[in-house]
């Protein structure tokens, strides 16, 4: 599968099976995803691998962040959860750019996992940046939690899922004041 095909065919898998990549397989996927564009090569991100009973720590922290007792059921929806953390401690590069790198790693990682046959869905929460979740994830000063990639096997489907295509022309424009817009430029080519 080409990179273009992987991007075009990407979808979120809100229901996954108990199949998950091993820690060794995960390292290969993270190494590839870490090649995302990164100003000054800071690598301002890390991934926290959450499996098995460790999901209970997240389940409790999610409820605590919501002011509830007990355990949230959300972490039991996938056998592997990957917490995406951005390290914003560098003063050389703006924080938004460091978050963009961490988000890029998460997206590249989701594409690599999808191509390898795993279903992935990105989750965030209203309380993603709460103290309870920061503590549960062991975040250091300057680190922020961006969300989680829930990973599992792709369930069999009885019929193919039809995805809406993106009308790219609606999302591409020229710089204001440029030569008569994009269509005039394309006509010259």
Where are the chain's structural domains?
A: 3-156
Residue 147 phi/psi, 5° resolution?
A: 150, -165
Q: Calculate ∠ Cα 114-119-123, nearest 5°.
A: 110
Q: Report, in angstroms and rounded to the nearest whole number, the Rg of the chain calculated over CA atoms.
A: 19
Structural element, H or E, at residue 4: helix 3-9
- Whole-prediction pTM value? 0.86
The mean per-residue pLDDT over the stretch 16-38 comes to: 93
- pLDDT computed for residue 66 by the predictor: 92
- pLDDT computed for residue 114 by the predictor: 92
What number does CATH give the domain 3-156? 3.40.109.10
Confidence of residue 38 (pLDDT cuts 50, 70, 90): confident
Asked if the model's pLDDT at residue 185 lies above 60, the reply is no
The mean per-residue pLDDT over the stretch 27-43 comes to: 90
pLDDT digits (tens, 9 = 90+) for 161-172: 667 788 889 999
pLDDT digits (tens, 9 = 90+) for 89-121: 999 899 999 999 999 999 999 999 999 999 999
Share of the chain above pLDDT 90, in %: 65
Confidence of residue 158 (pLDDT cuts 50, 70, 90): low
Asked if the model's pLDDT at residue 141 lies above 70, the reply is yes
Residue among 107, 103, 125 at smallest CA distance from 45: 103
């Amino acid at each position: 599968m080409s990179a273009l095909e992987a991007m075009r065919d990407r979808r979120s898998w809100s229901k996954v099976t108990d199949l998950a990549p091993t820690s060794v397989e995960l390292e290969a996927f993270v190494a590839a995803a870490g090649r995302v564009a990164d100003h000054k090569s800071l690598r301002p991100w890390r991934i926290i691998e959450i499996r098995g009973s460790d999901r209970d720590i997240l389940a409790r922290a999610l409820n605590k962040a919501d002011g509830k007792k007990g355990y949230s059921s959300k972490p039991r929806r996938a056998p592997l959860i990957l917490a995406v953390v951005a390290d914003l401690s560098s003063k050389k590069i703006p924080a938004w750019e460091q978050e963009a790198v961490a988000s890029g790693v998460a997206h590249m990682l989701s594409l690599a996992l999808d191509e390898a046959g795993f279903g992935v869905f990105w989750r965030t929460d209203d309380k993603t940046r709460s103290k309870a979740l920061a503590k549960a994830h062991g975040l250091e000063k300057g680190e922020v939690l961006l969300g989680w990639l829930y990973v599992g096997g792709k369930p069999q489907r009885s019929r193919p899922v039809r995805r809406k295509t993106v009308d790219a022309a609606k999302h591409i424009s020229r710089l204001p004041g440029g030569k008569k817009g994009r269509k005039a430029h394309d006509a010259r080519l």
